[in-house]
Amino acid sequence: MYLTHLECPRCGREHDAGVPQNLCDCGSPLLARYDLAAAARAVEPERFGLRAADLWRYRELLPVADPRNVTTLGEGWTPMLRAPAYGAEIGVADLLVKDEGLTPTGSFKARGAAVGISRARELGVRRIAMPTNGNAGAAWATYAARAAMGATIVMPVDAPSICRRECVAAGADLRLVDGLIGDAGRQVAALVAASGGTVFDAGTLREPYRLEGKKTMGYEIVEQLGWQVPDVIIYPTGGGVGLIGIHKALLELCELGWVSDRLPRLVAVQSTGCAPVVRAFAAGEDRVRPWADARTVAFGITVPAPLGDELILSALRATAGTAVAVDDAEILADLRDFAAREGLLLCPEGAACLTAARQLRAGGWIRDDERVVVLNTGAGLKYPETVDVSDVPVLPA
């Protein structure tokens, strides 16, 4: 294993990666650091192509020392699908959708859970707890079950009911709160504090290894394009872990010497019903102010005050990217349009990215010759209510 330590991106302090860690004393999330020079000597990028089609193909760049701790359901190496019909319609000829809907548990949260649970197991954690908008809880409960670890999951009552069922099926201790993810977070903080160190807080960016799982999307995009970077990557941003992770992966690939091009411009997409990152980006601020009355059909991105705000905003600025808020009605219209033209039923968060691509192209921010990668972060099948079937005629028998 090439993991060396954890580093605070805000104050620079180093932390021991050999014991379970949460935030830095200054309140910032921690980032896992590796001996990348040694990793580059140990493996050549061409070798990855000979390995299994899952995210563990990048094991030199992941934080698990003993392969027996790897907890897997086959996550990663999802397809990069061309979308020529929809792309022609919006004027982006080279449009690609990375379909995370084929990931175990039906969302890309499984990447973070697989690596987070594997590392927690390696460090001796017996029970995790976390607040969630649904998919993360479902994924962590599932991987915890596979690692014979306990899981306490707290989610809003309005979270997709399938996620609730996944937690119960996995034998997790599930609790519902009549509020938003921040309210769930306060419940988790209280129960972790009362546990006397027996329950590990695995909330978004409160531990450093979920990010390591999600960064593999960045490696895969580059490997699937033949070790080339696209011009633009569009990501539906809630807690921002995927965006921060893709940025981290791109920087690591540069340091490894495996990509040399200019980094892709990263785009954070939010809903007009919850757009704290978009507001802070537009105002030139480094931190977000909590969004009041957050509400959107794209439940996975309903995060009024993301903990990783500084990292999200700096990733957008460092790559000359941008942040866009899109309307729920347009998200649902693009979801229908995309499914009819391309045959892929997106999750609402993924559809939000296509709405953003359409708007950014119309406004000239995306040029017509650019290669654009959109993340479809979950399976459309988890959200059957996004397609209205009430007007389908019923024939007499």
* Interface residues toward Zn ion, by CB under 5 A: 8, 10-11, 13, 24, 26, 28
User: Which of 135, 216, 359, 386 forms a contact with ligand PLP (CB under 6 A)?
Assistant: 135
Q: Which of 71, 142, 237, 322 binds ligand PLP (CB under 6 A)?
A: 237
Interaction between residue 104 and ligand PLP (CB under 6 A): no
Interface stretch with ligand PLP, choices 173-181, 224-232, 239-247, 336-344 (CB under 6 A) = 239-247
Identify the residue among 20, 104, 156, 236 touching ligand PLP (CB under 6 A): 236
Nearest distance from C-beta of residue 378 to ligand PLP, angstroms: 3
Minimum distance of ligand PLP from residue 236's CB (angstroms): 4
Tell me whether residue 104 or residue 238 sits nearer to ligand PLP (CB atom): 238
Minimum gap (Å) between residue 10 Cβ and Zn ion: 5
In terms of CB distance, is 15 or 164 closer to Zn ion? 15
**Strand order, beta sheet including 3-7:** 14-15, 3-7, 31-34
> 107 touches which of ligand PLP, Zn ion, none (CB within 5 to 8 A by kind)?
ligand PLP
Q: Which of 63, 104, 185, 238 binds ligand PLP (CB under 6 A)?
A: 238
* Of residues 290-329, those binding ligand PLP (CB under 6 A): 300-301
Count Cβ atoms below 10 Å from residue 134 Cβ, excluding itself: 27
Contacts of 235 (CB under 8 A, 6+ apart): 242, 243, 246, 266, 267, 268, 269, 353, 375, 377
Among 240, 264, 273, 380, binds ligand PLP (CB under 6 A): 240
CA gap 79, 100 in Å, rounded? 8
Three-state DSSP state, 227: coil
Answer yes or no whether residue 270 interacts with ligand PLP by CB under 6 A: no
- Take residue 309 and report the two structure tokens written for it: 């705000």
β-bridge mates for residue 374, sequence order: 97, 234
Query: Is 347 a binder of ligand PLP (CB under 6 A)?
Result: yes
How far apart CA 96 and CA 98 sit, in angstroms, is 7
**Would you state the torsion angle of the CA atoms of residues 324, 301, 326, 93, taken in this order, to the nearest 10 degrees?**
70
Q: How many CA atoms lie within 13 A of 367 on its CB side?
A: 5
Residue 151 neighbours by CB under 8 Å, 6+ apart: 127, 128, 129, 130, 140, 141, 144, 145, 167, 170, 172, 173
Interface residues toward ligand PLP, by CB under 6 A: 107, 109, 135-136, 204, 236-242, 300-301, 347, 349, 377-378
